[in-house]
């Protein structure tokens, strides 16, 4: 959000938008999460569809890229082969993983602290396995986190 407010193109998290949309249509979170395989496939397909229409030479910050699905498949006990295959179609100049803040349950998130910590580890492992060198963004204010990212990329603070 902070980067968007500074004028950068930001693509927000597909999963959050998808789950929120299902909730507004009357679905219960337990039902949405009841078929984790279907949920993760739907989210992967939405991410792939979104990234296919983005211009590859534009500077775009993506909240939860396609490779995140590998970790989400794994944490759900699913075979991530489908997610890994889709990762071959996209590449990113840089990958940032934010050091975790305390988990806030907001009606969309359902992870426990333990699962969130494991997911954090898996994200770093999976991006590294794909050849990326994820950059850890330390716990700072929102503004300072945005500054950290821009400085790392050599971009001006608008």
147 occurs within a structural domain: no
Q: How far apart are CA 146 and CA 61, in angstroms?
A: 11
Provide the whole-model pTM. 0.91
> Do residues 42 and 67 touch, judged by C-beta distance below 8 A?
no
pLDDT single digits (tens) 89-132: 889 999 999 999 988 878 777 788 999 999 999 999 999 999 99
Residue 42 vs residues 23, 75, 100, 142, 150: alpha-carbon distances, Å: 15, 16, 26, 30, 32
Query: How much of the chain, in percent, has pLDDT values that exceed 90?
Result: 82
157 occurs within a structural domain: no
pLDDT of residue 57: 87
User: Token pair of 9, please?
Assistant: 């193109």
Total residues belonging to the chain: 158
Contacts of 49 (CB under 8 A, 6+ apart): none
Structural domains of the chain, count: 1
Domain hosting residue 15, numbered range? 9-133
């Amino acid at each position: 959000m902070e980067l968007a407010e500074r004028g950068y193109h930001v693509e927000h998290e597909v999963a959050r938008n998808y789950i929120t949309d299902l909730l507004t249509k009357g679905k219960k979170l337990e039902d949405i999460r009841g078929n984790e395989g279907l949920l993760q496939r739907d989210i992967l397909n939405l991410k792939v569809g979104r990234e296919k229409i983005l211009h590859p030479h534009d500077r775009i910050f993506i909240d939860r890229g396609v490779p995140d699905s590998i970790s989400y498949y794994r944490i759900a006990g699913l075979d991530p082969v489908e997610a890994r295959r889709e990762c071959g179609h996209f590449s990113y100049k840089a990958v940032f993983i934010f050091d975790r803040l305390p988990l806030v349950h907001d009606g969309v998130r359902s992870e426990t602290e333990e699962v969130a910590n494991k997911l954090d580890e898996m994200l770093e492992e999976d991006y590294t396995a794909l050849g990326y060198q994820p950059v850890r963004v330390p716990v700072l204010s929102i503004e300072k986190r945005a500054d950290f990212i821009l400085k790392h990329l050599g971009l001006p603070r608008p």
